[in-house]
Copies of this chain bind each other. A is one copy, B any other.
Amino acid sequence: MLNRRTFATRTLTAGLAAGIAPHLFSANPKVANPEVRLGFIGVGGRGSGLLKTLLEMEDVQFPAICDMREDNLSKAQNFVEESGRPRPEAYQRGPYDFKRLLQRDDLDGVIIATPWRWHIPMSIAALEAGKAVACEVGPANSTEECWDLVRTAEASSTPCMLLENACYRRNMMSLLHIVRQGLLGEIVQCRGGYLHDLRKRIVLGKGTGISLPTGGDYRTRQNQTRNADIYPTHGLGPLAQALNINRGNRFVSLSAHSTKSRGLKSWTQNNLPREHPAQDYNWANGDIVTSIIQCQNGENIILTHDCALPRPKSFDWQIQGTQGIYSELVDGIHIEGRSPGHKWEPFAEYQSEFEHPVWKQYLKIGIRGGHDGADFLELSAFVEALRQKQPVPLDVYDMASWMAIAPLSEQSIAQGNQPVPFPDFTNGKWMNRKPSFALT
Residues of A at the B interface (CB closer than 8 Å) are: 185-186, 188-189, 197, 253, 255, 257-260, 262-263, 266, 287-288, 290, 292, 294, 297-300, 302, 306, 309-313, 320-325, 327, 329-330, 334, 336, 342-344, 416-419
Contacts and interface: CB of A to CB of B under 8 A. Distances in A.
A309 B188 contact: yes
A198 to B, nearest CB: 11
A118 to B, nearest CB: 30
13 contacts: A188-B259, A188-B288, A188-B309, A189-B290, A255-B257, A260-B298, A266-B322, A309-B322, A309-B325, A310-B322, A310-B325, A313-B342, A418-B419
Contacts of A330: 329-330
Given A257-B300, A417-B419, 4 more contacts: A188-B262, A292-B417, A306-B320, A311-B342
A89 to B, nearest CB: 41
Nearest to A325: B311
Nearest to A415: B419
Contacts of A299: 259-260
A173 B287 CA distance: 26
B310 A253 contact: no
Contacts of A309: 188, 320-322, 325
B197 A297 contact: no
A294 to B, nearest CB: 7
Contacts of A290: 189, 292, 300, 302
Q: Nearest 7 CB-CB pairs, A to B? A: A260-B298, A310-B336, A266-B322, A417-B419, A329-B329, A311-B325, A257-B292
A312 B419 contact: no
Q: How many copies does the complex hold?
A: 2
Contact of A322 (B253, B262, B417): B262
A311 B320 contact: yes
A299, A344, A417: residue with the most chain B Cβ atoms closer than 10 Å: A417
A62 B189 CA distance: 47
B312 A334 contact: yes
A419 B320 CA distance: 25
B310 A323 contact: yes
Given A416-B419, A417-B253, A260 B312 contact: no
A439 to B, nearest CB: 25
A309 B324 CA distance: 8
Given A185-B266, A287-B188, A311 B334 contact: yes
A302 B302 CA distance: 10
A188, A288, A302: residue with the most chain B Cβ atoms closer than 10 Å: A188
B255 A197 contact: no
Nearest to A342: B312
A314 to B, nearest CB: 9
A430 to B, nearest CB: 18
A166 to B, nearest CB: 19
B298 A259 contact: yes
A439 B259 CA distance: 28
B253 A416 contact: yes
A299 B299 CA distance: 26
A343 B314 CA distance: 11
Contacts of A297: 260
A280 to B, nearest CB: 19
Contacts of A259: 188-189, 298-300
Given A259-B300, A288-B189, A299-B259, A343 B312 contact: yes
A287, A297, A306: residue with the most chain B Cβ atoms closer than 10 Å: A287
A262 B320 CA distance: 12
Contacts of A288: 188-189, 300, 320
A311 B332 CA distance: 11
A189 B336 CA distance: 32
A30 to B, nearest CB: 46
Contacts of A416: 253, 419
Contacts of A418: 418-419
